[in-house]
């Protein structure tokens, strides 16, 4: 049975009810979940599952085919149990801000340099994103990050919706990963920053750019012939 991923429809779900459909040791699979599994370079959620008045800490969340697997700190949950899922919201919300910041950066680099993302890892404290930029020009890179920060001030709306695959693929720039294609599904999930960017994407995001705060560059690295790496964080 496929797990329904609630985060695809609403990034702001903090708690939810679900039924346990499969258990393997400390691995628990639910009929639906708001916990985001590590995917697309974005770190997983943590939090807890409450079952029969017992709290189980969710240590990790991974995706295995159509199943979203919650790794918990102890055994005891059984198939058929009703559980309440509670996300560590501080962690989730910060990852959402990081994720939308990465989309904004990718939009600016794509527009200004036609650069694609060649790698990324989005974490709570700091993140990195790699771009296919020909020349390692520190001043240029910093100027583009500053441009992204100026766009944040516009507080544009971030929308999530689904589009027929055939129609979606007519739009250029929808995929900004250098070696990636949209998933083979009938409908593609779109994350749109109004007036700025549209990307095929499956992760949680904030609802307005202003929620990001300010993008702060921590370090720049030259990682190869056309691979420029930016380490960044967000404030406040």
- What is the pLDDT, as a whole number, of residue 182? 67
CA nearest to 218, candidates 126, 101, 85: 126
Instruction: List pLDDT tens digits, range 226-235.
Output: 899 999 999 9
Q: Which domains does the chain have, with CATH numbers?
A: 4-87 (2.40.30.130), 92-235 (3.30.980.10)
- What is the pLDDT, as a whole number, of residue 145? 98
Contact criterion met (CB below 8 Å) for 76 and 4: no
Surface-to-core class of residue 161, CB atoms within 10 Å of its CB (0-12 exposed, 13-18 middle, 19+ buried): exposed
CA nearest to 82, candidates 63, 103, 54: 54
What average pLDDT does range 164-171 have in this prediction? 87
| pLDDT higher than threshold 80 for residue 181 | no
The confidence band for 209, taking pLDDT boundaries of 50, 70 and 90, is: very high
Contact criterion met (CB below 8 Å) for 172 and 61: no
Please, how many CA atoms are within 13 Å of residue 163, restricted to the half-sphere of its CB?
Answer: 18
Instruction: List pLDDT tens digits, range 95-127.
Output: 999 999 999 999 999 999 999 999 999 999 999
Contact criterion met (CB below 8 Å) for 199 and 220: no
């Amino acid at each position: 049975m496929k797990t329904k991923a609630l985060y695809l429809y609403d990034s702001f779900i903090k708690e939810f009810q679900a039924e346990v459909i499969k258990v393997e040791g400390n691995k628990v699979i639910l009929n639906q979940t708001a916990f985001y599994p590590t995917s697309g370079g974005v770190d997983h959620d943590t939090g807890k599952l409450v079952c029969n008045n017992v709290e189980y800490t969710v240590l990790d969340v991974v995706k295995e085919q159509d199943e979203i697997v919650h790794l918990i700190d102890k055994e005891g949950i059984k198939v058929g149990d009703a559980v309440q899922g509670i996300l560590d919201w501080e962690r989730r919300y910060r990852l959402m801000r990081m994720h939308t910041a990465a989309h904004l950066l990718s939009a600016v680099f794509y527009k200004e340099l036609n650069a694609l993302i060649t790698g990324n890892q989005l974490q709570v404290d700091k993140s990195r994103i790699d771009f296919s930029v020909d020349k390692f020009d520190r001043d240029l890179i910093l100027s583009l990050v500053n441009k992204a920060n100026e766009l944040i001030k516009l507080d544009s709306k971030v929308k999530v919706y689904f589009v027929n695959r055939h129609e979606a693929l007519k739009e250029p720039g929808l995929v900004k990963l250098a070696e990636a294609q949209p998933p083979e599904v009938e409908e593609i999930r779109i994350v749109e920053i109004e007036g700025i960017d549209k990307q095929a994407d499956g992760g949680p995001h904030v609802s307005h750019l202003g929620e990001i705060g300010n993008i702060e560059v921590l370090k720049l690295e030259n990682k190869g012939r056309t691979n420029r790496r930016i380490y960044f964080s967000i404030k406040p």
